[in-house]
Amino acid sequence: MAEPLLRTDRLIKRFGGLVATDTVSIDVQPGEIHALIGPNGAGKTTLVSQITGNTAPDSGTIHFAGRDVTRLPTHARVRLGLARSFQITSVLREFTALDNVALAVQAHAGHSFRFLADARRDERLRAPARRGLEAVGLKDRSDTPAATLSHGEQRQLEIAMALAGDPKLLLLDEPMAGMGAEESQHMIEFLRALRGRRAVLLIEHDMDAVFQLADRITVLVYGRAIASGTPDEIRANAEVRQAYLGEETAGTA
């Protein structure tokens, strides 16, 4: 296999007596979709927070794009090509979809522009913002206030904003949360189209989506990575079925 784009080695993070991540080692290859699954409280979001630099590990290392980024601040990791969308949408609801993405483009452009006035006028910001909206299927919603977009459309908008910096790795925290069946399928099709063009680390509870999308899956339970492999390998893993997939089959999260 190629050199991993992202590699964590034995990450440990404790909160008091709780071990949120317990010697977690995973890797993400260039262009692959790698899903991170596990019950609520398994440590998935804590792991991603360490990868992005929002939370410092107690021990272990993180390598990204050929560099040790374990102690780098978040903004430095973003410059290297890391982007994240959150479990709860974080769009600017009073602005249009196009304004939101233009502001994201501006943020990645540095200090060459002057905040909102430029984001609403400057074609150097708005042209790539339009392309971003088209990429996520929101071309016809450019002038719509974000507050009036559906939940699924807001998630698509947030991903367009994350893609504004042309990241190498996109970290998605439950992008299908709260979506109906049609919206979820649209998101699946969009994410599938990213395969091979940029890497995705996906946290998702929708197992149908995970098995449709993932090249590889890592399963976290009580902060430990108990298995990692292809979807077929994960389906066949007895420990995973007992710890997690069996619960999903029974209809519990």
Residue-wise pLDDT tens digits, 136-160:
889 999 999 999 998 888 888 988 9
Token pair 């077929």 is at which residue?
Answer: 232
Is the model's pLDDT at 251 over the cut of 80? no
Predicted local confidence at residue 250, as pLDDT: 37
Helices 97-108 and 151-162: angle between axes, nearest 10 degrees: 20
Mean pLDDT of the chain: 87
Global pTM reads 0.86
Is the model's pLDDT at 36 over the cut of 90? yes
Residue-wise pLDDT tens digits, 189-233:
889 988 888 999 999 888 889 999 999 999 999 999 999 999 999
Q: How far apart are CA 27 and CA 7, in angstroms?
A: 4
Q: What are phi and psi of 41, to 5 degrees?
A: 80, 10
* Predicted confidence band of residue 82 (pLDDT cuts 50, 70, 90): very high
Domains recognised in the chain with CATH numbers: 1-81+201-253 (3.40.50.300)
Token pair 């420990």 is at which residue?
Answer: 239
Exposure letters 183-206 (e unless 16+ CB within 10 A, then b): bbebbbeebeebeeebbbbbbbbb
Degrees (nearest 5) of the Cα angle 204, 6, 161? 60
Top pLDDT among 16 and 166 is at: 16
